[in-house]
Chain A
Amino acid sequence: MNAPNKSGWKPEMTLAEDGMHSGPATTTGNRALMLEEPLLFEIGRADVTGVDLPAVDANAPTRLGGLARSEAIGLVGLTEPETVRHYTRLSRQNYGIDLGFFPLGSCTMKHNPRLNEKVARLPGFADIHPLAPQNSVQGALEVVAQLGEWLCKLTGMPGVAMSPKAGAHGELCGILAIRAAHEARGDAREVVLVPESAHGTNPATAAFANYRVEDIPATPEGRVDVAALKARLGPDVAAVMITNPNTCGLFEKDFREIADAVHAAGGYVYCDGANFNAIVGKVRPGDLGVDAMHINLHKTFSTPHGGGGPGSGPVVFSEALAPFAPLPFVRQDAEGTFYLVEEENREERGPSFGRMTAFHGQMGMFTRALTYMLSHGADGLKQVAEDAVLNANYILRSMEDILHAPFAASGPCMHEALFGDKDFTGGLSTLDVAKGLIDEGYHPMTVYFPLVVHGAMLVEPTETESKAAIDQFITAFRAVVERALAGDEELKQAPYYAPRRRLDETQAARKPVLSWQKPDD
């Protein structure tokens, strides 16, 4: 994929002097394969439908209690061919992993295997109701149980909650279990410590659970300042939330020491598992003293990101926190029958902190993730982590001679390489590099995160890229960075070749237009 094309463009070729992009304007605004598409509401009609249904019989008896709708809803429809074309045209204005390299740091944009999709659509999984009698959905409950077992074994943790709907929901699950565990002891602690390099969801989650959030500084080498953290521990600290590997792409080598200190002070250790892909099959978080960790199935276990969800965020728990896990959960009785423990199972539910969502979690993601795990097996998952880390280090060492890499001297990175904009000139910024990469045919890396590095660029290649694809990216990345170092004014206007030029986000926020209105309304 993306190997230099032997018959055409090659990395060593330069852009045509006169700018290849400028051609005569077209009447339609289209550019060959890139077609402009109006809004649905500009092409649809109220009386058109793409589904054949019986016409409404205005005289049919109803039992709507006098609430029959009298006003038009304001929807429009398209026939099937128009619908397929509308969305196909829209889809072509999107960048996805299927199209190219997507090194969005901390998001783990790896290949989404199509067997996963096929399995999730088996009627035995896709067409079953969450409240069906449990004796009629034993296979579904077994999937939940099997996936839970994989997660426990991969993390070395004894308990798991499967219902959280996404990573941030999983964080909430972990923090609520921590609060419930403290409260069960009558220990009302008020503070959660969060390193300043953390994902924004960490402090937002802790604040939601009514904790006061305090920042812990990072050391110059990009890790948690252990001395500062230890100094802050005390009877008011409920938990620390640490991402490991951290958002600077480094393994927190003192994690065990931190965990021991937190436990000695009566607190719990929450690990943000967003970066689990770096260590899956290589390191078990349970061996490092973690009490709770969410796992983004859409990152490490290849379920599709879908343009921003749905995710899935099961949480693994230590012995200390497992009893507080949310309802429902799956158990197996002595005869081998699977069943759900819900509100009614008063003894078995124990001190569970309650329910986080209707039903049982993201089943459609469970079937995909389990399919992926079975495909890789324990040996393959270990190779996943090794290749992901190898690729990131290769990028780090291929860039550090021209691009500021603040933690390059801290040792190997894990699955992502972090850079900063320190040496750019002419007012050029990280944003310009990102937009320049778009023109080169790449989805940019994560930018301006983590906050601890100025103009951060976080590059996560994942394990599903070939060396040729990574080499071509490095060539392009270096070229764009060199333009930024040289203060190339043209880069400030990039992208030139995307379906849209830079969009005015200030205008969008100042006068929000959040739904379509008829122009003359």
Chain B
Amino acid sequence: MRYLPLTDTDRAAMLEKIGAGSVDELFVDVPEVARLDGPIRGLPMHASEMAVERHMKSLAAKNLVAGDVPFFLGAGAYRHHVPASVDTIIQRGEFLTAYTPYQPEIAQGTLQMLFEFQTQVARLYGCAVANASLYDGSTACWEAVAMATRVTRRKRAVLSGALHPHYAEVVKTMAKFTGDTIADAMPAITPEPDLGGLIARIDDDTACVVVQYPDILGRISDLTPVAEAAHAKGALLVVVNTEPVALGAIKSPGEMGADIVVGEGQSLGVGLQFGGPYLGLFAVRDPKHVRQMPGRLCGETTDAEGKRGFVLTLSTREQHIRREKATSNICTNSGLCALAFSVHMTLLGERGLRELAAENHRLACLAAERLAKVPGVEVLNNAFFNEFTLMLGGKPARAIVRDLADRGVLGGVSLGRLYPGVEALEHALLVAVTETTTEEDIEVLARELEASIKESAQ
């Protein structure tokens, strides 16, 4: 067995040192009833690297690879080009096979990287402080709600109807157990988000308002009035961003008065990976809220010789110190994904991120213009970044998406998939466009969408 260095001679010598007759004697504390007499039945025996690779390849081959077809899926996970150097850096064993930097003297690589990452995220979000990451955007969203309840000592959160429905589900699931009240809503299919309606739902018991930007339908709007309304009632504004590339083109949430900004960082460096592992981003605008933040924080300090160095800090918030009084039960971050994000962001820099964002938006505008020409199809959004909503003239979007897949086009995410059973949303399709989309891809989608709609009419 290629991963096990002990030889039988080693094992015999070690047992002798221990004073045991056999390895089974070391398992003497296992009750008789639970001892197994051999390898667990019903599972295969060990296999060669070649055989295992063959098996896994056969499973991979059953999937339609996004990069092999015209591809327009988004809704919280975006396909961007990841420079080759990102993957080689994250595969360096010193990053890949390290652990949480509990011994900072021999973990400065991870710690300095996290300090740089925190700075990048804070600036992108227009915030003062970002943490060292959380599991993903959806869990970060819940952590923001939980933090807002701690800060305000109130127990009600108002969710925008245009918050990603999976995020809203996570918040609602968690709130069932913590006893918080979640006021949610369905998205209204309108060219502009209904911010007036949202503001009207904020009351004196509200801990926070949670708004996605760009929202689940791809719409963008100035959130300053929401921030003002929330603050007037003593509530916090939580802004959720699922597409960090957008912030290379549009105002940051911090600039518009968001108190907590959270999001999904998968777009940069991480890739699609069928939904995970992803990267939860979490930042606060006001440094006074730092001690209420969840998750790990890396901070600067000096060593015994006065050299600059970095450590995990403010850990008195965390479970391994505070146990049941911790701000969160989280005991990890998404370290390697944070590294991938940070390397990608370093390669882009200010200029590259702005260019990348502009290219995404340019292609999205082209796509919106072209797809609006498909008979029976309308673009819902007034404004968008790289994702927008198509209304399919009464055609069920889910069936159209499946039909498009059969035609070799991954044409978008139907709102029917995200909001099953909600009739009002069945005819809408989310279309995402990134720098990986070609003008030819857009043409193919337009053509196949037209054909698919025509055939579904017959």
Chain A residues lying within 8 Å of B138, measured Cβ to Cβ, are: 357-359
- B455 interface residue per 8 A CB criterion: no
Distance in angstroms from B5 CB to nearest chain A CB is 4
Interface residues in B95-117 by Cβ distance below 8 A to A read 95-110, 112-113, 115-116
Distance in angstroms from A60 CB to nearest chain B CB is 6
- B79 interface residue per 8 A CB criterion: yes
Contact between B222 and A67, CB atoms less than 8 A apart: yes
Chain B residues lying within 8 Å of A132, measured Cβ to Cβ, are: 64, 66, 73, 405, 410
Contact with A207, one of B26, B300, B325 (Cβ below 8 angstroms): B325
In the assembled complex, the Cα of A343 lies from the Cα of B420 at a distance in Å of 8
- B454 interface residue per 8 A CB criterion: no
Chain B residues lying within 8 Å of A60, measured Cβ to Cβ, are: 358, 362
Contact between B40 and A281, CB atoms less than 8 A apart: yes
Contact between A94 and B319, CB atoms less than 8 A apart: no
- B440 interface residue per 8 A CB criterion: no
A-facing mask of B166-181, CB < 8 A → 1, else 0? 1101101110111100
Smallest Cβ-Cβ distance to B411: which chain A residue: A133
Known pairs A128-B63, A153-B43; A49 contacts B352 (CB<8 A): yes
Contact between A503 and B301, CB atoms less than 8 A apart: yes
- B196 interface residue per 8 A CB criterion: no
Contact between A102 and B299, CB atoms less than 8 A apart: no
Chain B residues lying within 8 Å of A168, measured Cβ to Cβ, are: 319, 329-332
In the assembled complex, the Cα of A351 lies from the Cα of B351 at a distance in Å of 50
Chain A residues lying within 8 Å of B272, measured Cβ to Cβ, are: 126-130
B-facing mask of A82-122, CB < 8 A → 1, else 0? 01101110111111111100101001011111010111011
Chain B residues lying within 8 Å of A498, measured Cβ to Cβ, are: 105-106
- A140 interface residue per 8 A CB criterion: yes
In the assembled complex, the Cα of A327 lies from the Cα of B165 at a distance in Å of 13
Of A4-12, A261-269, A376-384, the stretch lying at the interface with chain B is: A376-384
- A495 interface residue per 8 A CB criterion: yes
Chain B residues lying within 8 Å of A169, measured Cβ to Cβ, are: 135, 139, 330
Contact with A75, one of B120, B139, B337 (Cβ below 8 angstroms): B120
Chain B residues lying within 8 Å of A355, measured Cβ to Cβ, are: 166, 169-170, 173
In the assembled complex, the Cα of A378 lies from the Cα of B83 at a distance in Å of 39
Contact between B249 and A64, CB atoms less than 8 A apart: yes
Smallest Cβ-Cβ distance to A250: which chain B residue: B29
Contact between B350 and A74, CB atoms less than 8 A apart: yes
Chain B residues lying within 8 Å of A386, measured Cβ to Cβ, are: 23, 26
Contact between A165 and B277, CB atoms less than 8 A apart: yes
Contact with B3, one of A57, A119, A304, A375 (Cβ below 8 angstroms): A375
Contact with A133, one of B75, B99, B332, B401 (Cβ below 8 angstroms): B401
Q: By CB atoms of chain A within 10 A, which of B40, B112, B179 has the most?
A: B40
Contact between B33 and A256, CB atoms less than 8 A apart: yes
Interface residues in A250-293 by Cβ distance below 8 A to B read 250-251, 253, 255-256, 279, 281-284, 287-288
Contact with B250, one of A46, A69, A102 (Cβ below 8 angstroms): A69
Chain A residues lying within 8 Å of B274, measured Cβ to Cβ, are: 125, 128-130, 137, 140, 359-360, 363-364
A-facing mask of B307-342, CB < 8 A → 1, else 0? 101110111101111111110111111111101000
Known pairs A201-B319, A308-B100; A48 contacts B26 (CB<8 A): no
Contact between A412 and B345, CB atoms less than 8 A apart: no
Known pairs A64-B220, A507-B301; A501 contacts B59 (CB<8 A): no
- A339 interface residue per 8 A CB criterion: no
Contact between A203 and B170, CB atoms less than 8 A apart: no
Distance in angstroms from A502 CB to nearest chain B CB is 5
Of B44-52, B198-206, B231-239, B444-452, the stretch lying at the interface with chain A is: B44-52
Interface residues in B197-243 by Cβ distance below 8 A to A read 220-222
- B65 interface residue per 8 A CB criterion: yes
In the assembled complex, the Cα of A78 lies from the Cα of B350 at a distance in Å of 10
Smallest Cβ-Cβ distance to B51: which chain A residue: A374
Distance in angstroms from B387 CB to nearest chain A CB is 12
Chain A residues lying within 8 Å of B57, measured Cβ to Cβ, are: 119, 122, 124
Known pairs A201-B329, A374-B47, A464-B3; A288 contacts B34 (CB<8 A): yes
A-facing mask of B272-287, CB < 8 A → 1, else 0? 1111111000000000
Contact between A165 and B13, CB atoms less than 8 A apart: no
Of A228-236, A475-483, A508-516, the stretch lying at the interface with chain B is: A508-516
Contact between A204 and B93, CB atoms less than 8 A apart: no
- A421 interface residue per 8 A CB criterion: no
Chain B residues lying within 8 Å of A389, measured Cβ to Cβ, are: 23, 26-27
Give the number of chain A interface residues (Cβ < 8 Å): 207
Contact between B64 and A128, CB atoms less than 8 A apart: yes
Distance in angstroms from A108 CB to nearest chain B CB is 10
In the assembled complex, the Cα of A401 lies from the Cα of B17 at a distance in Å of 13
Chain B residues lying within 8 Å of A396, measured Cβ to Cβ, are: 18
Smallest Cβ-Cβ distance to B11: which chain A residue: A390
Contact between B40 and A90, CB atoms less than 8 A apart: no
Chain B residues lying within 8 Å of A154, measured Cβ to Cβ, are: 40, 43
Contact with B4, one of A138, A179, A387 (Cβ below 8 angstroms): A387
In the assembled complex, the Cα of A514 lies from the Cα of B350 at a distance in Å of 20
Known pairs A127-B66, A281-B40, A508-B301; A104 contacts B276 (CB<8 A): no
Distance in angstroms from B312 CB to nearest chain A CB is 8
In the assembled complex, the Cα of A200 lies from the Cα of B15 at a distance in Å of 34
Contact between B36 and A374, CB atoms less than 8 A apart: no
- A356 interface residue per 8 A CB criterion: yes
Distance in angstroms from A390 CB to nearest chain B CB is 6
Contact between A139 and B60, CB atoms less than 8 A apart: yes
Chain B residues lying within 8 Å of A124, measured Cβ to Cβ, are: 57, 59-63, 65
Known pairs A51-B356, A502-B105, A515-B128; A380 contacts B23 (CB<8 A): no
Distance in angstroms from B220 CB to nearest chain A CB is 5
Of A15-23, A315-323, A365-373, the stretch lying at the interface with chain B is: A365-373
In the assembled complex, the Cα of A365 lies from the Cα of B102 at a distance in Å of 23
Contact between A466 and B5, CB atoms less than 8 A apart: yes
In the assembled complex, the Cα of A83 lies from the Cα of B221 at a distance in Å of 35
Smallest Cβ-Cβ distance to B356: which chain A residue: A53
Q: By CB atoms of chain B within 10 A, which of A75, A205, A411, A513 has the most?
A: A75
Q: Which 4 residue pairs are nearest across A and B when measured between Cβ atoms?
A: A77-B349, A124-B60, A65-B383, A359-B275
| Extra pairs beyond A45-B349, A359-B136, A464-B3 (16, CB < 8 Å) | A39-B116, A65-B221, A67-B221, A123-B68, A128-B64, A133-B405, A203-B324, A256-B31, A304-B336, A310-B337, A353-B173, A375-B2, A375-B46, A378-B40, A394-B14, A500-B105
Complex A-B: 26 CB contacts under 8 Å: A56-B358, A78-B349, A80-B347, A119-B52, A119-B60, A124-B60, A128-B63, A166-B135, A169-B135, A176-B173, A208-B178, A281-B36, A281-B40, A304-B336, A307-B113, A308-B101, A310-B335, A358-B166, A360-B274, A371-B56, A381-B39, A435-B105, A503-B301, A505-B313, A512-B290, A515-B115
